[in-house]
Amino acid sequence: MNFTSFNFLIYFPFVTIAYWITPAKYRWMALLLANYFFYINVKPIFAIFLAGVTFSTYLFARMIDESKFEDKKRSYLIISIVLLLTPMFFFRYFTVLNQDILQLLKEMHIRWSLPEINQLFPVGLSFYTIMAIGYIVDVYNKKLKPEKKIR
C-alpha cells in the first residue's frame, strides 16, 4: 500500500474512525493492528522486522531493569542496540555491498550470482529504530521504567 494509492485513501479514514470509536483503554491495540496491517500490505516481511523490533525492545528493557549487575546491564544495552540497528544497516547497505562483491568477482572472472534486492526500504524503519534505542537507553539510565506488559 502506497501513501498515494487509492487503498490508502480508504485505509486512513477507516483507521481514524476505528481509533475514535474504540474505547480509550484499547486504542493502543487499534493502532497496533492498523500498523501491522499496513506493513503486511506493503510487504509481509516488513511486519516481521517490526515485530522483531517490538519484542527485542521489550525483552531487553526488562532484562536491563531486572539485572543486578552493571556490567550485565551494559552488555544488554550494547546487544540490543546492535540488534536494533541490524535491519537498518541491512536495508541501507546490502545492495551496495552486493554490487561491489559482484563487480569484484566479475574482475576475477568468477561468475557467481548473489541474490539481488531492489530494496524497498520499510516505511518508518529509521524512526522506530531510533525510538526503540532511545527507550532502551532511557531504561538503562533509569529515566523510564520498562513496560511490564507487552502491549
pLDDT score, position 4: 73
Number of helical (H) and strand (E) elements in the chain, helices listed first = 5, 0
pLDDT score, position 120: 64
The three cell numbers of residue 72 are: 550485565
- Bigger pLDDT: 99 vs 146: 146
111 and 103 Cβ atoms separated by less than 8 Å: no
Band (pLDDT 50/70/90 cuts) for residue 17 is very high
76 and 67 Cβ atoms separated by less than 8 Å: yes
pLDDT score, position 119: 60
> Which sign, positive or negative, has the C-alpha torsion 141, 143, 145, 146?
negative
48 and 125 Cβ atoms separated by less than 8 Å: no
- The b/e string for 122-131 (b: 16+ C-beta within 10 A; e otherwise) is bbebeebbee
pTM of the model: 0.76
For the chain, the domains span: 1-42, 44-151
Band (pLDDT 50/70/90 cuts) for residue 6 is confident
The whole-chain average pLDDT of the chain stands at: 86
pLDDT score, position 97: 78
pLDDT tens-digit profile of 46-96?
888 888 888 999 999 999 999 999 999 999 999 999 999 998 888 777 777
54 phi-psi bin (left φ>0, alpha ψ -120 to 50, beta other): alpha
The three cell numbers of residue 76 are: 544488554
